[in-house]
């Protein structure tokens, strides 16, 4: 395993590509948001390019649904693009002020992931 791509500082992860298993573009990491109360990554802010590249949409993506590809230095997301297109977005001009618990909960629900704060989620993912 390539050590240089296994351990990466969070400030260097900004702008890494998110692709599906076929290598198709699924967006780009903007930042990671930490829940300081429980000390873990709450979600990843990912931008998804809009129609014809004219605009992009930002949304909160549960950390648990991304996989890091050591060889490709990209995040792998195994889901159809239409799931992203229908995901609840956030206003990137008002971020991070518009983040609230309800918005994060809706994101987890949309992506079919049990929230990390849910006691029924045994892994805390």
Cα–Cα dist 16/8, whole Å: 11
Exposure string for 30-39, b = 16+ CB within 10 A, e = fewer: bbebeeeeee
pLDDT at 109: 93
What is the model's pTM? 0.79
Residue 62 contacts residue 103 (beta carbons within 8 Å): no
What digits encode the pLDDT tens for the residues 85-123?
888 888 777 777 777 888 889 999 999 999 888 865 555
Domains in the chain (CATH in brackets) are 3-110 (2.30.30.240)
Q: Give CA separation, 113 vs 62, 87, 118, in Å.
A: 7, 13, 10
Residue 35 contacts residue 115 (beta carbons within 8 Å): no
């Amino acid at each position: 395993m390539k050590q240089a791509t296994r351990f990466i500082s969070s400030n260097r992860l900004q702008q890494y590509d998110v692709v599906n298993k076929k290598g198709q573009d699924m967006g780009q990491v903007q930042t990671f948001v930490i829940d300081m109360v429980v000390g873990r990554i709450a979600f990843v802010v990912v931008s998804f390019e809009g129609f014809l590249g004219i605009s992009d949409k930002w949304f909160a993506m549960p950390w648990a649904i991304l996989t890091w590809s050591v060889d490709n230095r990209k995040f792998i997301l195994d889901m159809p693009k239409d799931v992203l297109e229908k995901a609840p977005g956030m206003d990137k001009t008002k971020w991070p002020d518009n983040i609230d618990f309800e918005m994060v909960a809706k994101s987890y629900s949309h992506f079919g992931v049990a929230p990390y704060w849910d006691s029924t989620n045994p892994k805390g993912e």
